A and B are shown apart, each in its own frame.
Chain A
Amino acid sequence: MIFLTLLYSTFKEAFEKKIVLTIFLLITAVILLFLSFINLDSIEGLKEMLMMSGDESFRDAIVKFETNLINQFSFMVVFSLLLIMSASFIPSILEKGNIDLLLSKPLSRRKIVLGKFISVVFLAFIIISLLVSVIWFIISIKTNVWHFPFLSAILWFTFIFAVMYSFELFIGLVSQSTILSLLLTLFLLFPVTALLSARETIVFSFVKNDTIKFIFNFVFYLFPKPWDVRESCINMIEGVAIQSWWHMISSGIFMLVMLSVSVYYFSKKDY
C-alpha cells in the first residue's frame, strides 16, 4: 500500500517534471536513428557479404551486431540519462516543509527510503525495457533472427542502475543536493569504476609501484563493477559461459551496504 503510494508519487513527479518525457523523446530519437540505419538493403548486403566470406553465420553476425550496440559509449549515454533522471527524487522529498509532512505520517523512515529506491528502480526498469525491447524487435523483424537472450540486457541494465542509484540515493540523503549526488555518481561510473575495471590492461601498464597497484586492487574490490557486469551481460547475450559471478555479487553487496547506510543515516537524522 505504502509502496504503491510512493510509486505513484515517483511516477507523477517524473512525468510532471518532464523528466521521463525527455528521456522517452531521446529514446525515440535513438530508435528512429537506428531504424534509418537498418534498412532491408543493408541487411541483404550483410547477408551476401557473410555468405561470401563463409566463416561466420548470419545469426552470429546479428548477435555480434546486438552486442556491439551495448558498447562503452552507448552504455555511458544510457546510464548518464538514467542517473540524471533519478538524481532529484531524494533531494525533492527532503525539502523543508515536505519532509516534515512525510515523517508525520504513519510510515517508518526505512519504508520511505526503500519505497523510494524501489519506485525509482522500477521506473528505470520500464525505460530500459522500452529501449531494449524496441531495438530487439526492430532487429528481429528486419533480420528474421529472433535472438531472445538480447532481452536479458533489461535485467542486467536494471541491476547496474540499481547499484549506481543506491550510491546516488545515499549522496542525495546526506547532501540534499541534486547536482552533487548526480556529479559524484557520474564520477563513480566514469572514470572511477571504468578505470578500476581496466586497471590491469591500462593503468598497470603505466604504474609499476606495488603499493599503488595494491590500492587500485583494494578499491576495485570495494567499489561496484558496472563495466564488468556489462561484460557479463555481453557474454550472456553471445551465449558464452560467464566465468565468474563475483562482479555481480560484489556489486550487489555494495548496493546493500549503500541502502543499509542510507536507512541508518535517514533514521538518525533530525529534520
Chain B
Amino acid sequence: MKIITTKNLSKEYSSKSFSKEKILALNNFSFEVESGEIFGILGPNGAGKTTLIKILLGITHRTNGDIKIFEKEISDESYKMKIGYLPENHKFPNYLTGEQVLYFFGKLSGLTGTEVKKRADEYLGLMDMQKWRKTKIKKYSKGMMQRLGLAQSLLNNPELVFLDEPTDGVDPIGRKEIRDILNNLKSQGKTIFLNSHLLSEVELICDRVAILNKGSLVKEGKVGEITSASNNYKFITSEISEKNINDLLINFKAVIHSRNEFVYNTINIEDLNKLIDFLRENKILIHSVNREKDTLENMFINLIESQN
C-alpha cells in the first residue's frame, strides 16, 4: 500500500513580501512512500526538504500538484489522526513540564485523558525520561528536548511518522537508542519519513532515499542500490620506490596516497591482476586489497557537486 503519493508537486514563494518575484522551492516533485518502510529525504540546505514535509502536513500550502496520504487527498484533515511529527527545532511552551507537554499535544491529537496518561508513561519510559517528567522543560537539555519531542510524535500511536532531524543535539548513545526505537517502529509496520543531515545515520536506518536539489528530485532508490560497490581498489603495501610510483602513476593511472598506499580504479579484472603482477615483479608486498564501497555521503556529495 502506498502511504504517500505526490504528483507534480510545486511550491512557489514570493522572494519578499508584496514582491512579484517568485522562488521555486519545489519543482514538479513526484514520489511515493510504501507502507512499513523508512524513507529518507536528503538534500543540501535550501533544497526544499522542510518545505516538502510542511506541505505534506498541511503547514504550508502547495502551489500545484496532487498529494495523497493514506490514499486520501490531504484537504481531508482526518489523516492527521494517524500521523506523528517531530519538527526541526521544535519549541514547546517552556512553562510546561514534560508530562504536561505530552498531555497538551496528546489531547490535541484526539486522545482521551486516560489514553494520554497511559501512553505518556510508556513513551517517557522508552525515552528514559521518567525522572524528568515533572520538571519544567525550560530546564531540559537539547538532547532531552529531542527525546520528549520524539515521545510526543509517537504518543497517538501513528501509522506514519515524520521526523525532521530527530537526532539533532543527541549524544552518540542517545542516537543509537533513537535508531533502535525507529527500527522497532518499523518492525511494528509503521512508516517513517526521515529528514536528517547525518548521512551515515540515514544509510544505517533508511530503506529508500530521495535526493532533492534546488526543489527537484535528482535521485531516488533503495539505499543498497545507491551505495553499490565502486570500482576503486585500495592497496596497502610495503614501501614503494620512486621509480615504481612513477610507473603506477603513468601506466596504471593509480591515485597515490602515500609510499605504501594507493587506489586503483578499474572495471576490468584482468587489469587488476596485471597491477598485482607488476607489484610482485617489483618485490612489493601486498598487505591488503579492499574494494571500496561508495558511501551515501560520497554519492551525495558527488551528485550535488555535479548538479551545481
Binding site for B on A (CB under 8 A): 1-2, 5, 8-9, 12-13, 16-17, 92, 95-108, 268, 270-271
Q: Which residues of A contact B80 (CB under 8 A)?
A: 104-106
Residues of A within 8 A of B110 (CB): 1, 106
Report the bound CA distance from A104 to B109 in whole Å: 9
Indicate if the CB atoms of A97 and B93 lie closer than 8 Å: no
**Residues of B close to A1: CB separation below 8 A:** 107, 110
The 8 Å CB contact of B107, one of A5, A16, A92, A102, is A5
Contacts of B87 in A (CB 8 A): 97, 100-101, 104
- Interface residues, chain B, with chain A CB atoms under 8 Å away: 13, 54, 57-61, 77-78, 80-81, 83, 85, 87, 89-93, 95-96, 100, 104-105, 107-110, 152, 162
In the complex, A105 Cα to B111 Cα: how many Å? 11
CB pair A9 B104 closer than 8 Å: yes
The A-B contact count (CB < 8 A) is 79
Docked-complex contact B89 and A271, CB < 8 angstroms: no
CB atoms of B77 and A106 under 8 A apart: yes
Cβ of A17: which chain B residues have Cβ within 8 Å of it? 95
Within 8 Å by CB of B59, from A5, A95, A100, A108, lies A100
- Given A100-B54, A104-B59; A13-B83 close (CB under 8 Å): no
- Which residues of B sit under 8 angstroms from A9, Cβ to Cβ? 93, 104
Query: With A270-B60, A271-B59 given, is the CB distance from A100 to B90 under 8 Å?
Result: yes
A105-B105 contact, Cβ under 8 Å, with A100-B59, A271-B54:
yes
Q: Chain A's nearest CB lies how many Å from the CB of B187?
A: 25
4 A-B pairs with least C-beta separation = A97-B91, A16-B95, A106-B80, A104-B85
Query: B79: shortest Cβ distance to chain A, in Å?
Result: 8
Contact between B109 and A106, CB atoms less than 8 A apart? yes
By CB atoms of chain B within 10 A, which of A12, A106, A268 has the most?
A106
Contact residues in B for A108 (Cβ distance below 8 Å):
77
Residue of A nearest to B92 (CB): A98
21 pairs, A vs B, C-beta closer than 8 Å: A5-B107, A8-B104, A8-B107, A12-B93, A12-B95, A12-B96, A13-B93, A98-B91, A98-B92, A100-B57, A100-B90, A104-B57, A104-B83, A104-B87, A104-B162, A105-B109, A106-B77, A106-B81, A107-B108, A270-B54, A270-B61
The answer to whether B60 touches A271, judged by C-beta atoms less than 8 angstroms apart, is: yes
CA distance A99 to B77 in the complex (A): 16
Complex CA–CA separation, A100 to B83 (angstroms): 14
Q: In the bound complex, what is the Cα–Cα distance between A98 and B92 (angstroms)?
A: 6
Chain A residue with the shortest CB-CB distance to B152: A101
Q: Which residue of A lies closest to B84 (CB)?
A: A104
Kindly list 14 other residue pairs between chains A and B, CB separation below 8 angstroms, not including A100-B85, A106-B80: A5-B107, A5-B108, A9-B93, A9-B104, A12-B93, A12-B95, A13-B95, A16-B95, A16-B96, A99-B59, A101-B105, A104-B57, A104-B87, A106-B78
Shortest Cβ distance from residue B272 to the other chain A in the assembled complex, whole angstroms: 52
Of A92, A102, A270, which contacts B108 at CB under 8 A? A102
Tell me, in angstroms, the Cα distance from A98 to B13 when the chains sit together. 22
* CB-defined contacts of A106 to chain B, threshold 8 Å: 77-78, 80-81, 108-110
Whose C-beta in chain A lies nearest to the C-beta of B56? A104
Q: Is the CB of B91 within 8 A of A96?
A: yes
Q: How far is the CB of A129 from chain B (nearest CB, A)?
A: 25
Q: Which of A12, A98, A104 contacts B58 (CB 8 A)?
A: A104
A-side contacts of B61, CB under 8 Å: 268, 270
Chain A proximity of B50: nearest CB distance (Å): 9
A97 to B50 CA separation, bound complex (whole angstroms): 12
Closest residue to B106 on the A side, CB-wise? A5
**Which B residue's beta carbon lies closest to that of A18?**
B95
What residues on A are CB-neighbors of B95 within 8 Å?
12-13, 16-17
| C-alpha gap A70/B59 in the complex (Å) | 45
Q: How far is the CB of B295 from chain A (nearest CB, A)?
A: 31
> Which residue of chain B is the closest to A268 with respect to CB atoms?
B61
- Specify which of A97, A103, A105, A107 is in contact with B90 (CB 8 Å cutoff): A97
Which residues does chain A contribute within 8 Å of B60, judged by CB atoms? 270-271
Q: List the A residue with the shortest CB-CB distance to B62.
A: A270
A92, B57: Cα distance in complex, Å: 21
Residues of B within 8 A of A103 (CB): 57-59
